[in-house]
Amino acid sequence: MITMANELKKIKQKLKEKFKKELEKKRLKLKEKLKKEKNKLKKKNALNEDIKIKTLTLKIKKKLDNKQKLKQYKHSKLIKEIKESNIKVITINNDGKLVLGNLREARKQQGIKANMLAQLSDISSPTITLIENNKNCPSQSTIEKLYKGFKKFNKMI
């Protein structure tokens, strides 16, 4: 009986070990499967992120294109307005850029004081002085502001 009990214990032990090994194999297989699924999910998420980024990039480009078109439209409208105006101090060159003539002379001909033109143009008085003394080359936006300042003044009188 003792030998039979020992035999049963041995068989039981072997079955336990075999069961443990099988469980460990299944656990490892499941772990590997889980790892693969996680990788698939990561790739899918990365792909979704790429799509989101590309979509946002396209939206931004479209907005920038629209802004550029609007800016070009406004500029062409301004050029047309300048050509038709009696403000001769600002002209347009062949490239469609605004060119400022003698500001001091034009200002004096119209009877505008420098500080008033500065206020109407939303430019500082020192900037007007620097431009008049050829110590500052005005940007296109500054020339546009000067044009608008002259235009406001003409409406006032």
Q: Is the pLDDT of residue 45 over 90?
A: no
Specify if 26 maps to a domain. Answer: no
What total of structural domains would you count in the chain? 2
User: Residue type for 131, please?
Assistant: I
Query: Given this model, what pLDDT does residue 1 score?
Result: 62
Specify if 98 maps to a domain. Answer: yes
Give the number of other CB atoms < 10 A from CB of residue 128.
26
Taking the C-alpha atoms of residue 122 and residue 117, their distance in angstroms, rounded to an integer, is 8
Q: Is the pLDDT of residue 54 over 80?
A: yes
pTM assigned to the model: 0.59
Q: What is the pLDDT of residues 105-128, one digit of tens each?
A: 999 999 999 999 999 999 999 999
Specify if 3 maps to a domain. Answer: no
b/e per residue, 87-122, with b = 16+ CB within 10 A? bebbeeeeeeebebeebeebbeeeebebebbbbbbe
Q: Which domain holds residue 54?
A: 43-84
Q: Alpha carbon of 133 to those of 45, 75, 103, 126, 157: distances in Å?
A: 62, 27, 9, 10, 27
Note whether 92 and 78 are same-domain residues.
no
Note whether 143 and 123 are same-domain residues.
yes
Q: Alpha carbon of 67 to those of 61, 80, 82: distances in Å?
A: 10, 20, 22
Taking the C-alpha atoms of residue 100 and residue 88, their distance in angstroms, rounded to an integer, is 9
Note whether 94 and 142 are same-domain residues.
yes
Q: Of the residues 84, 107, 135, which one is the last residue of a structural domain?
A: 84
Q: Of the residues 63, 84, 105, which one is the last residue of a structural domain?
A: 84
Q: Percent of the chain having pLDDT more than 90?
A: 55
Q: Of the residues 67, 84, 101, which one is the last residue of a structural domain?
A: 84
Arithmetic mean of pLDDT, 81-93: 87
Specify if 9 maps to a domain. Answer: no
Pairwise pLDDT comparison (58 vs 75), residue with the higher score: 58
What is the pLDDT confidence band of residue 138, given thresholds at 50, 70 and 90?
Answer: very high
- For residue 119, the domain's CATH number is 1.10.260.40
Query: Given this model, what pLDDT does residue 102 score?
Result: 93
Specify if 25 maps to a domain. Answer: no
**Bridge partners for 100 per DSSP:** 90
